[in-house]
A and B are shown apart, each in its own frame.
Chain A
Amino acid sequence: MEQINAIELKNVTKRFGEVIANDSVNFSVRKGEILSVLGENGSGKTTLMNMLSGIYFPDEGQIFINGNEVMIRSPKDSFALGIGMIHQHFKLIDILTAAENIILGLQGSKTLKMNQVHEEINKLTAEYGFDLNPSQKIYNMSVSQKQTVEIVKVLYRGADILILDEPTAVLTPQETKKLFDVLRNMKKAGKSIIIITHKLNEVLELSDRVTVLRKGKYIGTVNTAEATADSLTEMMVGEKVKLDIDRTEPSNTEKRIEMRGITCRNREGLKVLKEASFQAYSGEILGIAGIAGSGQKELLEAIAGLQTIESGEILYYAPDGSTNKISDMKATDIRELKIHLSFVPEDRLGMGLVGSMDLTDNMMLRSYKEGKHFFVDRKKPKNLANSIVEKLDVITPGVDTPVRHLSGGNVQKVLVGREIASNPTVLMVAYPVRGLDINSSYTIYNLLNEQKEKGVAVICVGEDLDVLLDLCDRILVLNSGRVAGVLDARKTTKEEIGLMMTSDRKGAHKHEQRSGK
């Protein structure tokens, strides 16, 4: 190859105990290109990038930057080599301004001239087409604005190689488009960009080349122009996967849950749900879309009896025709009424399961009280654990392994399996496929569809709008705690949902106000 690669890795291996996270990976990034690193969860994408950004140190292999072999021992070394990483979780200080965060930790000259810094930042943002006000405080920013700060931060420090770890996971479709425009501008300016992702359509839209990893091994690099969604999936998974969700027409719909004007406050006393009202019907999947933190969690928890409700009521219509007001009940009371309300919370190991307990003990989390006996009966939960392991192909050494030793997908299968096993009439799931690989995701979608066909009212909070559009019958859009609308999933578009999610949002609003001054 004539041209010098910005980054080249040769036979890089990284082990964690017995697990090989990266198994002699070869990989290169050219100057001025956008490279996608594609792979399922646990395929070693993030580990590989962490070695470039100095967080991990490779056990074997060599790293070349601009043709020279280097040793990256710490994030400092990585910076010195012009590598900048934008992590999934932002590392910003809330009470400081954008500019203060950007210069944080830099040596600089003896006197700090903030005006000069602002000027420099403005020059940088104008050059690449960012939309950023350097004097805005972080806590006033939307997620996408915070991300902009992170990107400008590494550019300000003179990075030539940018690594973005799942940058679009938290963005709306509109924000994603804006980000991609900026990335293309940076590419034109000769920067090398690596994007870690598992969203195929983004890979195809944005990148020049795609590198695929599978189970820590380097599978290959292809030119995006020659790839298709199917061919990339096959490289990622190693086999052909059907990427369609079978959506049946809802049948026998009956009203199950009705929420009327529910208002909730969080611990800080801020309203997180504002007079939310909606109905959920049996035999359908109701999707809930919204920017992270728009009240999705509180909506589900209010129904499950885990939230203190300030005003409004929630009614449960049982299949036998009786009606119960469940808004003033605790989770225990709801259970005692024999209302089978299943809930798969977002925080799987922090709420849905007990990480240090084994599968058997986790099975009885919601049912251990049954019977009057002082001692627990572990026979039934053990059988249940065994049958879930078998039915859902949970990969585990046995039912007496602590669940936190299982991989994310298997943890979720255990949790969903338990919740479905109680024959629910209402099934609520929050971000059911977050962090799961393609195969596990489709297992979960199929389980949800199965429940829907059995006549369960399924409520599903999701973040991937493409999936919600394919899976759900109706989609409820939340916008900072308010129900912005309920749409027919078969007729609406991603753009329509995106607009409803964001219109008149607090962060965006403020920003416009300020820049208008």
Chain B
Amino acid sequence: MSKEAANKEVFLRMTKRDSISKRKAWAIRGIAVVLSLILCALIIVALTNDNPFQVYLGIIDGAVGRKRRFWVTVRETMVLLIIAVGLTPAFKMRFWNIGAEGQILMGGTATAAMMIYFGNAMPNWLLLLVIFIVSSLAGMLWGLLPAVFKAYYNTNETLFTLMLNYVAMQIVTFCIVFWENPAGSNTVGIINGATRKGWFRNIFGQQYVLNVIIVLIMTLAVYLYMKHSKQGYEIAVVGESQNTAKYAGINVKKVIIRTMMISGGICGLAGSIIVSGASHTISTSTAGGRGFTAIIVAWMSKFNPVAMLLVSAFLVFMQQGSIQIASQYGLNENASDIITGILLFFLIGCEFFINYKVEFRKSKKEVQ
């Protein structure tokens, strides 16, 4: 190689950071949010020629502007949060459960079945209790299947859980045939619209307080379970290294199966919260991609429950707001997906700058 080439400088380098102060890390995240909002604004201007500030005000208005809108945002936040909470044990175990969608659908289907068939058979509080148990069991079954195959045959859980999502969708489609209302509509419609059997009841005069209570209790329970129980400790060890787990005398198969039952069970319960506590109907889009969004929530928060709450709230806020501006400014409803996508891109991308440092080199003078 020529000497000239050997004298060229490295211009840009990336080095791994050893540590970063919390304040600096949050500053980087803050900058990422600001940059993403600027980029969103540019896109909005390019598409609509509207004032981006107006559009952002529209987002805020759409998410929390009215009491009703505020409570919908809360409700959706809670749904996203409990799914993320449900995924936490599985992901801590490094079990790539991307089947939350299916687990939610199974829980939702079980809930709808209970509402339809037992709506008049028992008092509402008992019906709700049965719904919680049965929906959890349904989700548990959907978590158990891939876990058993993983534990005994070491099958790939990613594909398995993903495929089960489609199976769950087909089951819903199948059930709609029986539950169709009105006939010929190919939808289930509002279940027990008149009797409100199996619906969450108002607490303090608010419709969604029960959702909040259940989700927060589950969040706290899972936090304590992961952090302070022996089983939670086992999950962490298995996730880090199965070799270590065997060395420590942990029954890895048992832990995998048990953990996925818990994970699937909570996602199933999330299904009941969606059906009983919000939509009061069931369709193939009941989960609505939230089983996937929750994966992002869980990982971005590094499984910290407070962070999960904040991230869920932020994402739902943007989503609800975007739905509002989409109708207000005549944008396609996919506009909200674009904005959420840009936000996530920046938020996840900025983690790189938290872990790595980029250095620029000034060209050095020749010494010879």
Interface residues of A (CB under 8 A from B): 16-19, 57, 62, 68-73, 76-77, 80-81, 304, 306, 330-332, 335, 343, 345, 347, 350-357, 361, 364-366, 368-369, 373-376
Nearest chain B residue, comparing its CB with the CB of A374: B229
Smallest distance from the beta carbon of A22 to chain B beta carbons, Å? Answer: 15
Q: How many B residues, CB 8 Å from partner?
A: 33
With contacts A331-B247, A350-B243, A350-B244 taken as known, whether A365 is within 8 angstroms of B237 at the C-beta atoms is: yes
Judging by beta carbons under 8 Å apart, are B240 and A16 in contact? no
Judging by beta carbons under 8 Å apart, are A68 and B3 in contact? yes
Judging by beta carbons under 8 Å apart, are B19 and A357 in contact? no
Instruction: Specify which chain A residues have a CB less than 8 angstroms from the CB of B246 in the assembled complex.
Output: 306, 331
Judging by beta carbons under 8 Å apart, are A351 and B17 in contact? no
- Would you list 12 pairs from A and B whose C-beta atoms are within 8 A, ordered by A residue? A18-B19, A70-B7, A71-B6, A80-B1, A351-B241, A352-B244, A354-B241, A354-B244, A368-B233, A374-B229, A375-B228, A376-B233
Assembly CA distance A397 to B364 (angstroms): 38
Judging by beta carbons under 8 Å apart, are B244 and A17 in contact? no
B67 interface residue per 8 A CB criterion: no
Interface residues of B (CB under 8 A from A): 1, 3, 5-10, 13, 15-19, 228-231, 233, 236-237, 240-241, 243-244, 246-251, 367-368
Assembly CA distance A18 to B17 (angstroms): 9
Assembly CA distance A332 to B276 (angstroms): 44
Interface contacts beyond A69-B368, A304-B247, A331-B247: sample of 8 additional A-B pairs, CB < 8 Å, sorted by A: A68-B368, A71-B7, A331-B249, A347-B243, A350-B241, A350-B244, A354-B240, A356-B240
Query: Which among A76, A80, A352, A365 has the greatest number of chain B C-beta atoms within 10 A?
Result: A365
Instruction: Specify which chain B residues have a CB less than 8 angstroms from the CB of A19 in the assembled complex.
Output: 18
Judging by beta carbons under 8 Å apart, are B7 and A369 in contact? no
Judging by beta carbons under 8 Å apart, are B10 and A73 in contact? yes
With contacts A19-B18, A351-B241 taken as known, whether A306 is within 8 angstroms of B247 at the C-beta atoms is: yes
Assembly CA distance A18 to B228 (angstroms): 34
Nearest chain B residue, comparing its CB with the CB of A77: B6
Q: Which of A69, A355, A366, A374 contacts B248 (CB 8 A)?
A: A366
With contacts A57-B10, A68-B3, A376-B233 taken as known, whether A355 is within 8 angstroms of B240 at the C-beta atoms is: yes
Smallest distance from the beta carbon of B245 to chain A beta carbons, Å? Answer: 9
The 8 closest A-B pairs by CB, nearest first: A17-B18, A80-B1, A332-B249, A331-B249, A351-B243, A354-B240, A365-B248, A375-B228
Query: Which among B5, B15, B230 has the greatest number of chain A C-beta atoms within 10 A?
Result: B230
With contacts A351-B243, A354-B241 taken as known, whether A17 is within 8 angstroms of B15 at the C-beta atoms is: yes
Nearest chain A residue, comparing its CB with the CB of B5: A77
Smallest distance from the beta carbon of B88 to chain A beta carbons, Å? Answer: 16
Judging by beta carbons under 8 Å apart, are B18 and A18 in contact? yes
Instruction: Specify which chain B residues have a CB less than 8 angstroms from the CB of A335 in the assembled complex.
Output: 249
Assembly CA distance A373 to B230 (angstroms): 8
Nearest chain A residue, comparing its CB with the CB of B234: A368
Judging by beta carbons under 8 Å apart, are B230 and A376 in contact? yes
Judging by beta carbons under 8 Å apart, are B236 and A369 in contact? no
Instruction: Specify which chain B residues have a CB less than 8 angstroms from the CB of A18 in the assembled complex.
Output: 18-19
Judging by beta carbons under 8 Å apart, are B244 and A368 in contact? no
Smallest distance from the beta carbon of A82 to chain B beta carbons, Å? Answer: 11
Judging by beta carbons under 8 Å apart, are B244 and A353 in contact? yes
Instruction: Specify which chain B residues have a CB less than 8 angstroms from the CB of A351 in the assembled complex.
Output: 241, 243-244, 247
Assembly CA distance A261 to B19 (angstroms): 52
With contacts A17-B19, A368-B233 taken as known, whether A376 is within 8 angstroms of B8 at the C-beta atoms is: no
Smallest distance from the beta carbon of A187 to chain B beta carbons, Å? Answer: 26
Judging by beta carbons under 8 Å apart, are A80 and B18 in contact? no
Instruction: Specify which chain B residues have a CB less than 8 angstroms from the CB of A365 in the assembled complex.
Output: 237, 244, 247-248
Nearest chain B residue, comparing its CB with the CB of A345: B247
Assembly CA distance A353 to B16 (angstroms): 24
Instruction: Specify which chain A residues have a CB less than 8 angstroms from the CB of B249 in the assembled complex.
Output: 330-332, 335, 366, 369
Assembly CA distance A354 to B250 (angstroms): 13
Smallest distance from the beta carbon of B232 to chain A beta carbons, Å? Answer: 8
Smallest distance from the beta carbon of A422 to chain B beta carbons, Å? Answer: 12
Assembly CA distance A356 to B6 (angstroms): 41
